[in-house]
Structure 1
Amino acid sequence: MTTKTPEAQSVRPTWIDEARLASWTRWVACPVSGGDGSLTASAPYDARPTAPVPSVTTADVAEAAAAARAAQPDWATLEFSDRAEVVLRFHDLLVERQDEVLDLIQWEMGKARFHAWQEILQVGSVARHYAKRGSVYLADKRVRGVIPGVTAVKEIRVPKKVVGIISPWNYPLYLGVGDVIPALLAGSAVISKADPQTPLTLLWTRALMAEAGLPEHVWQVVTGPGAATGEAVIDNVDYIAFTGSTATGRIVAQRAAGRLIGSSLELGGKNPLIVRRDADLAQAARGTVTAAFANTGQMCVHIERVVVHEEVYDAFRQALVAETESQVVGQGFDYSADIGSLASEAQLEKITAHVTDAVAKGARVLAGGEPLPEVGPYAYAPTVLEDVTDEMDLCLGETFGPVVALYRAGSDEEAVRIANQGEAGLSASVFSKNLREADMIARRIRAGAVNINDGAALAVGSIEAGMGGMGTSGIGRRHGADGIRRFTDAQTLAVSRMGPIGPLKGQTLEKFVKLGNGQLKAMRKLGVR
């Protein structure tokens, strides 16, 4: 493994001056308090403060939601094409100005630049997809009425008035705006809660969306302490989309249920990757490293467990360790590092605790297994473990860092059983040269997405397909048709061409019932629904 030692100086990008910060923080919605309070995160690369942003009150959140609610009708009455034009202008500005937000993502979150750029790729794909396909997903759907020819019925989509979005720090651009885009295109107004670790990235994005033509109050951003601000958002919206831990997701779901509003929750995972006996081992090793260590392992779909057929276990282990040790761990605003820093001291402490506990209980470190203070305050070596057992904290508990554990399996059946351990079911992977058999195995894995011969990116990057979890990994889907329809309510419009349906004037109920029964028998005989 190669490490890059940074220069001993502040890593704040020089182009970020006070004027630019003010141009972003003006988008914090704090109409009641005036932004009297503030919060400041620590930059992962040097553990120094980033920049203060206003800390809102619950009254600020309520007032911001009221402003969004007042602005929503005018936004919803625009033609879909007009809303789409704003989103496409945002897409173009994002691609053009990407170096700015790449710097911000790295400064606030610490990931390698290539992994930051993947957020540009994903948000651009989301913007283009829903701008082009959203009108199809939301189109009126004609269905047969109770009396064909006499009645006409269609289902339409009505936007939720105000959608709340609570996004995490690990993908501050993609998860911050990836749900905002379809909500806006559906005709909803949005109130977003930025994570306290990465508020500047979301505020930069909000300013860019304004430049693209989005009206001021249609998308509100609030920044503040996690629990209080998040609860205030849930209490003032008509739908909540949350991405984060399973523990917090349960709280969000309970609070939303108490208000009888809908929710979609993408939560934690303990994602498995199966290496079959016939797999291309070099390919599987590369895919494992990418899926386990991308974003420094801080992504909900990253691989934490690798289940390997016993006949190829030793050869795969050797290939995986070699691939892991070839990774460059570093900090810098360029593309020279494969793996960046963890996001915070809390992340470093959790990952160190998981590995320490596992080793104390008998796990063996094959690669990594320690912090890298010479690289940065929160840097951690990409780590491969074996001999992990059930009593270890990292066995089924989400580690959320650059740590992967190896398991042996004597058959496909045993591999599937190990993969399905635990209550989580977000993402999984199968490596095999036999695509038909791999498909059969994938169907038996309890996960919202299964990738064949890829670690995680295939499913996440397929914007037309829904993305979400099973079990404790979540409810609902982002991407695809469900990714925009969740921000709407279904409404049925039924029209009669002859007035109220029922007995004609002067017709007895008995005769009407007899005709109705005859209709039932005739339709059954004809095979009509």
Structure 2
Amino acid sequence: MPILQSLNPQHGLESTNHLRVAAHLIIGPPASNFRCETPGRTVRSSWFADQGASADLDSSTTNWQRLPTPQRCRLIGGAATFVARAADELVAACQSDQRTDPAETIASELLPLCSALKFIQRRGRKVLADRHCGWWGRPLWLWGASARVSRVPHGRVLVLGTWNYPVLLPGVQVAQALAGGNQVFLKPAPGTERASELLAKCFYDAGVPVHQLQVLDSTTEAAVAQMNSGVELVVLTGAADTGRKVLAAAATSLTHSIMELSGCDAAIVLPGADLKRVVRALAFGLRFNSGATCIGPRRLMVPPEFMPALMDALKAEFADDESVVVHPAARFGAASLIQDALDHGASDLLGVFDRDRLIETGQMQIVLLGDVQPDHDIASADVFAPVLSIMSVESLQQAIQWVNQCPYRLAASVFGPKSEALKVANQLSVGTVIVNDLIAPTADPRLPLGGRGESGFGVTRGAEGLLAMTVPRVVSVRKGNIAPHLEPRRASDQQLLGGLLQFSHGGTLKCRIAGLRRMVKAGKNRDNRDGEAS
């Protein structure tokens, strides 16, 4: 079975070892100049040894920050090898009521994480490289000035992990923060402690000092204590309500934040769309991780003429699906929203919704809601359960309006001919638009992920996410003796500066020549006054 095919939760695997071996082959062997001295937490890389750095890597972050960026990125990339080696342990640690298929963990977390680590190794140096600003493009009035823009660490970064993807999401954030030279504190979500410990060990084994990456307790109190002790950046993946609480705490110290929050993603079906492809994609999205995916499909917007055929195909696809278990934190909210929609005219197309069962046991089958209206609460809510609200749209502009007016705008999908789908994509006010697919393309390590509205702000992953883990530092140097701003004010200054403004930005050649004449005249007046004064 091809590796990427294992993304489909309907495909089983005889043994996770097959995928682990395949992952190792894709990722490649460990870099030859990095080695683990011990299987434990204290690790020395050959770079430190070659440079004669201190043997105690846990004592300070100074050595890590002073490492050249290419060396840090190579160390981070080397962690991919140890992720591949620990695949079986990581798969077991990610097992939960929502994550029941080992193949999903490898396909949705381990492979994308390792690709992200290798992206940092290959591209991190260029992304974080200094930018020199010399004479080219420099304003005339800054003669002799040059500058260098460097990307430097925030300092201390607190990563608040999530339970639904406990390896991939915090793993990439931790990796990018470390590559940027930061000290990282990882607060696992409750129930993901073991996965976080294994993840951290992969970085330790690759050569990251233990002091540089610390795993906190999974309690809220641990996160609060760390924020109170001082951090320069907080990175959260979680619900919008959690984001508000974290932002309130961060606001007291004006701490920088990156918020990757809830979604209510829409799938828009255009005329000419391949309906079989639409059904297959929706089936993948609703089943994947038991529906616990922030960029999973929550709304389906369909033209009336396609509604009967698509409804029949969806009902046939999900007719025999077994129940899944919804996370305790999402049960009551999902049950209430579904019931409210039914009470206000929506229909249970499969006839499987059981409110009491969902609240009491967490079990539910995939729910297809027909006749959902835009004013139903569920049409603009962050439901973290396998439910799809099907909405009839009278026009393409109406679908675009519904997407853009939703408070949650993390991602969206558009199904249809490429040219038409791209026109729609360019009008959607969301973080990510996927054409003729959903979820899977967002795992591309080159791409940033971030939302709009109540889906958060800032980005993680990709080059943009790596830059977000740093701040710019500008160092300007003035050479030579030309520094007119340091000279005493003269009567001709206004005429001289006005002429410079006109010469530089006058627009027409005639206007610019006139500005040059003003400058020459001002210079002569200044020389005459200087001569009279002497």
What's the TM-score bracket when you normalise by the shorter of the two chains?
Answer: 0.7 to 0.9
1:427 aligns with 2:393: no
Give the corresponding residue for 1:113: 102
User: How far is 1:204 from its partner?
Assistant: 1.1
1:364 aligns with 2:347: yes
Give the corresponding residue for 2:185: 191
Give the corresponding residue for 1:354: 337
Query: What is the aligned-residue identity percentage?
Result: 26
Partner Cα separation in structure 2 for residue 305 and residue 172 of structure 1? 26
Give the corresponding residue for 1:90: 79
Q: Is the 8 A contact 1:384 1:405 kept in 2?
A: yes
User: How far is 1:514 from its partner?
Assistant: 5.1
Q: Where does 1:161-310 land on structure 2 (aligned, <5 Å)?
A: 161-226=155-220, 228-235=221-228, 236-310=230-304
Q: Is the 8 A contact 1:281 1:316 kept in 2?
A: yes
Q: Where does 1:445-456 land on structure 2 (aligned, <5 Å)?
A: 445-456=428-439
Letter of the 1:394 counterpart: I
Structure 2: segments with no counterpart, 5+ residues: 1-8, 11-37, 43-55, 513-534
Q: Is the 8 A contact 1:372 1:381 kept in 2?
A: no
Distance change >3 Å, CA 110–CA 90, structure 1 → 2: same
User: How far is 1:521 from its partner?
Assistant: 3.3
Structure 1: segments with no counterpart, 5+ residues: 4-22, 28-66, 331-339
Partner Cα separation in structure 1 for residue 292 and residue 69 of structure 2? 36
Give the corresponding residue for 2:3: none
Partner Cα separation in structure 2 for residue 249 and residue 288 of structure 1? 28
Partner Cα separation in structure 1 for residue 331 and residue 486 of structure 2? 76
Q: Where does 1:373-452 land on structure 2 (aligned, <5 Å)?
A: 378-389=362-373, 392-433=376-417, 435-452=418-435
Give the corresponding residue for 2:24: none
Partner Cα separation in structure 1 for residue 82 and residue 60 of structure 2? 24
1:509 aligns with 2:476: no
Deviations 1:278-316 (A, max 9, x none): 211000111112223311111111110101111111101
Deviations 1:72-126 (A, max 9, x none): 2221101122212221221011123212201110147534323212111221121
Give the corresponding residue for 1:102: 91
Alignment partner of 1:311: what SS? helix
Give the corresponding residue for 2:525: none
Partner Cα separation in structure 2 for residue 128 and residue 483 of structure 1? 15
User: How far is 1:134 from its partner?
Assistant: 1.5
Partner Cα separation in structure 2 for residue 289 and residue 198 of structure 1? 27
Q: Is the 8 A contact 1:101 1:204 kept in 2?
A: yes
User: How far is 1:69 from its partner?
Assistant: 11
Distance change >3 Å, CA 79–CA 387, structure 1 → 2: same
Greater alpha carbon shift after TM alignment, 470-479 vs 291-300:
291-300
User: How far is 1:519 from its partner?
Assistant: 3.4
Larger Rg over CA atoms: 2
- Runs of 4+ aligned structure 1 residues displaced above 6 Å come to 23-27, 67-70, 526-529
Alignment partner of 2:271: what SS? coil
Greater alpha carbon shift after TM alignment, 255-264 vs 186-195:
255-264
Give the corresponding residue for 2:503: 522
User: How far is 1:465 from its partner?
Assistant: 2.7
Q: Is the 8 A contact 2:154 2:471 kept in 1?
A: yes
User: How far is 1:321 from its partner?
Assistant: 1.9
Greater alpha carbon shift after TM alignment, 133-142 vs 267-276:
133-142
Give the corresponding residue for 1:461: 443
Alignment partner of 2:210: what SS? coil
Partner Cα separation in structure 2 for residue 242 and residue 24 of structure 1? 31
- What is the aligned residue count? 454
